Amino acid sequence: MIKIKKAKTIGFCFGVKRAVDMANKALECDQKIYSLGPIIHNPLVVKKLSQKGIRVIYNIDDIKCGKVLIRSHGIKPSIRKKIKNKGLKILDATCPFVERSHRIVNDIKNKGFHIIIAGEKSHPEIVALAEASGNNMDIVINVKEVKKLKIKTKKILLLAQTTLSKGLYRQITQAAIDKNPFEVRIHNTICNDVAKRQDEVTRLSRIVDLILVIGGKNSANTKRLVQLCKTGGVRAFHLEAEKDLKKNWFKNVKSIGIMSGSSTPDWAVDEVISKVKKIKI
């Protein structure tokens, strides 16, 4: 039988659990709840909540009344204002780690810092933060992009997408320091939980033959975990649910590691494990 090593930090992270709990609790008393974009980057969970009554919308102009659930990735200040101006109620499920980044940006803007965020330009967390900075921040995803930046001031402030890999942020901060400004402020805004999972897959990649990383195909942190496995030199597959498992992955495999992204529910993890246990090699 295949030996299974399940990561200790697995299933929903604190911020996602909080967001999903808020959605479920709101559904107990109210049936008109809108989520601006999918509440988390996990299609299974989004589908379940949608069946219970959370409607996903992409434009606030599409609704006239009801409660608006702000998803864990946060929201642009201009849209928050628009929701308030329309008299709609806000159910704020912004992850507290993301809120911390907004506080940092709000405190520092207009103080002569060149703000740099390490993250993905199109990720909702970054899109919202960029606007919070007055669209006055550079978004970089690798060292090359940092090297190309023209630093306009003598002071740099750095922060990271909460789900970035620690190793990449380390390289990016070093590249920013190497630009030799008078001052560099580095905020460690990578979520603790994400950092723990990264450490765990790195550890697992040394002791198993294959790692299964369970999570939404649109989940940035899940994709990064898969990438880390590969960097660690181990085969790894990204799957959303047990139905994605393929028998031929397990040829000559004696031990596997199980990890999940931050927005993967425990039951999706358990279903994968049950099915793997039944595989005969």
By annotation, the residues acting in catalysis are: 125
173 or 205: CB nearest a copy of itself = 173
Cβ–Cβ < 8 Å for 263, 45: yes
Backbone φ and ψ for 275, nearest 5 degrees, come out as -70, -40
Residue 46 CA: distances (Å) to CA of 38, 144, 269: 6, 36, 16
Task: Record the tokens describing residue 11, joined without a space.
Answer: 């299933």
**Stretch of 41-49, 184-192, 197-205, 207-215 lying at the interface with a copy of itself (CB under 8 A):** 184-192
**Binder to a copy of itself among 58, 180, 244, 277 (CB under 8 A)?**
180
**Stretch of 61-69, 134-142, 185-193, 230-238 lying at the interface with a copy of itself (CB under 8 A):** 185-193
Cβ–Cβ < 8 Å for 23, 33: yes
Measure CA of the first residue to CA of the last residue in the chain; give whole Å: 8
Edge-to-edge strands, sheet with 255-260: 3-6, 255-260, 210-214, 235-239
Say whether residue 106 binds a copy of itself (CB under 8 A): no
**Stretch of 4-12, 177-185, 221-229, 257-265 lying at the interface with a copy of itself (CB under 8 A):** 177-185
**Stretch of 42-50, 114-122, 178-186, 251-259 lying at the interface with a copy of itself (CB under 8 A):** 178-186
Specify the pairing of strand 155-160 against strand 54-57.
unpaired
Cβ–Cβ < 8 Å for 168, 231: no
Say whether residue 151 binds a copy of itself (CB under 8 A): no
**Footprint on residues 212-241 left by a copy of itself (CB under 8 A):** none
CA 161 to chain centre: 8
- Tell the smallest beta-carbon distance from residue 223 to a copy of itself (Å): 23
- Tell the smallest beta-carbon distance from residue 150 to a copy of itself (Å): 18
**Binder to a copy of itself among 21, 30, 62, 183 (CB under 8 A)?**
183
- Tell the smallest beta-carbon distance from residue 110 to a copy of itself (Å): 19
Say whether residue 185 binds a copy of itself (CB under 8 A): yes
Amino acid type, 39 = I
Give the separation between CA 157 and CA 154, rounded to whole angstroms: 10
**Binder to a copy of itself among 126, 137, 184, 268 (CB under 8 A)?**
184
Residues that bind a copy of itself (CB under 8 A): 170, 173-174, 177-178, 180-188
